[in-house]
Structure 1
Amino acid sequence: MSGKGATVTVMYPRTENSTFNVDYYTSTHMALVWKAWSKFGLKSYIVTKCTEDAPYTYTVAMEWESLAAFGKAAAEPSSKEVMDDVPNFSSEKPVVVTGDVIDRS
């Protein structure tokens, strides 16, 4: 571990028929994520709308105390509620990328 924290990036693929309800995502889903995971080391998040030529429609970059903290949160029963909520806003299964922060400004 780097000691500088970790990031978990969740990306929602863009397909010909993909749908994404950004209002639900920002008002309901991310509140659920915060409630479920902040006590385990989720420090912040940033939701981004991707450009039309990107392979993803939206992404969220979550800052964590460590990858171990994310792992602990993901193992909790509350994570099932978070994951089960995805079909309420996205027609696509998200892609998740994790990593240790190695530098920051």
Structure 2
Amino acid sequence: MATIVIQYPSGHDFDLDYYLNKHMPLVSATWSSEGLQSWEIVTFSEGSAYQVQATLRWDSLESFEKAAAGSTATTVFGDIPSFTTAKPDLFKGVSKLKSAL
């Protein structure tokens, strides 16, 4: 399983309502068939370096990279200006161990 973390820096306009109700459903509808398994959104308190973080779980890093470079990427990435002027930071990783508490 791969984890993709997208963090949006503070100090930029960000339409959270649009992001949650339009963009993330678009991401789900566009990429579920390409290996996206789930997503989670976290908002940070004022004064943090980042205002919003999306954590996307994929079946593999290869699936994400293929989707991010494929024809559907234009739909997802092209929607970013609809909710923010921030340039997001993106981190990719592969899960090595899962713990159940």
* Matches of 1:74 and 1:44, distance apart in 2: 16
Structure 2 unmatched runs, 5+: none
Q: Measure, in 2, the Cα distance between the counterparts of 1:86 and 1:7.
A: 20
Q: Could you list the runs of 4 or more consecutive aligned residues of structure 1 that deviate by over 6 angstroms after TM superposition?
A: none
Residue identity matched to 2:9: P
Q: Which residue among 7, 20, 34 is the counterpart of 1:11?
A: 7
Residue 91 (structure 1) shift: 1.4
Q: Deviations over 1:50-94 (max 9, x none)?
A: 122321100100011110010111122111111111011011111
- Residue 44 (structure 2) pairs with residue 50 (structure 1): yes
CA distance in 2, matches of 1:59, 1:10: 6
Q: How many residues align?
A: 99
Q: Are 1:36 and 2:30 an aligned pair?
A: yes
Q: What is the TM-score normalised by the length of structure 2?
A: 0.93
Give the distance between the partners of 1:86 and 1:29, measured in 2 at CA.
Answer: 8
The residue number in structure 2 matching 1:62 is 56
2:76 is matched by which residue type in structure 1? V
Partner of 2:18: 24
Does residue 74 of the first structure (1) align with residue 65 of the second (2)?
Answer: no
Query: Hey, what's the Cα distance between the residues in 1 that align with 2:26 and 2:96?
Result: 28
Cα-Cα RMSD: 0.9
Give ranges in structure 1 of 5+ residues lacking alignment.
Answer: none
Identity among equivalent positions (%) equals 35
When the two structures are superposed, what TM-score results if normalisation uses the length of structure 1? 0.90
Alignment of 1:94-105 (within 5 A): 94-105=88-99
- What is the identity, as a one-letter code, of the residue corresponding to 1:87? P
| Structure 2 partner of 1:85 | 79
